[in-house]
Amino acid sequence: MIAFQVPVGYWLSLAVAMFAIGSAGVVIHRNPVVVFMCIELMLNSTNLAFLTMARYQITANQTDTLATQSSMHGQMMVIFVMAVAAAEVAVGLGIIMAIFRQRNQADVDDMSTMRL
């Protein structure tokens, strides 16, 4: 087993920081592509939190088979999140492309109504 050299709190703090940066980016930026990247950052921060906790489960209770098994839940969740994020980006980018073709620009504030 790999020893857990970096304390859990550090990983979680990193995840929180990434989430905060990401969400602030979503609010601040007007370019939809950048917004998407920020959302990606938030998703990744969540993934990091999931993974951290999964690893923590295993290291904390090495003798408990149940804990070993349930640690897999966190890792599975990460794979799901990545899959969904990929699908979301594919669809979202498609929409952004369509908008861009129509207007030659893509600004989230311009899309304050769904009407184009």
Position 66 contacts other proteins (CB under 8 A): no
3-state DSSP assignment of residue 105: coil
| Residue in the structure block whose two tokens are 């979301």 | 88
Q: Residues 76-115 vs other proteins: string with x where CB under 8 A?
A: --------------------------------xx-xxx--
- Minimum distance from residue 54 beta carbon to other proteins (Å): 22
| Residue in the structure block whose two tokens are 């979202």 | 92
- Minimum distance from residue 111 beta carbon to other proteins (Å): 7
Cα–Cα distance measured from residue 63 to residue 48, given in angstroms and rounded to the nearest whole number: 24
Extended strands (E) in the chain? none
Amino acid type, 67: A
Closer CB to other proteins, 65 or 113, in the complex: 113
Q: What is the dihedral of CA 4, 7, 8, 14, to 10 degrees?
A: -120
Which 1-40 positions form the footprint of other proteins (CB under 8 A)? 23, 26-28, 30, 35
**Residues at the contact surface with other proteins, assessed by CB under 8 A:** 23, 26-28, 30, 35, 108-109, 111-113
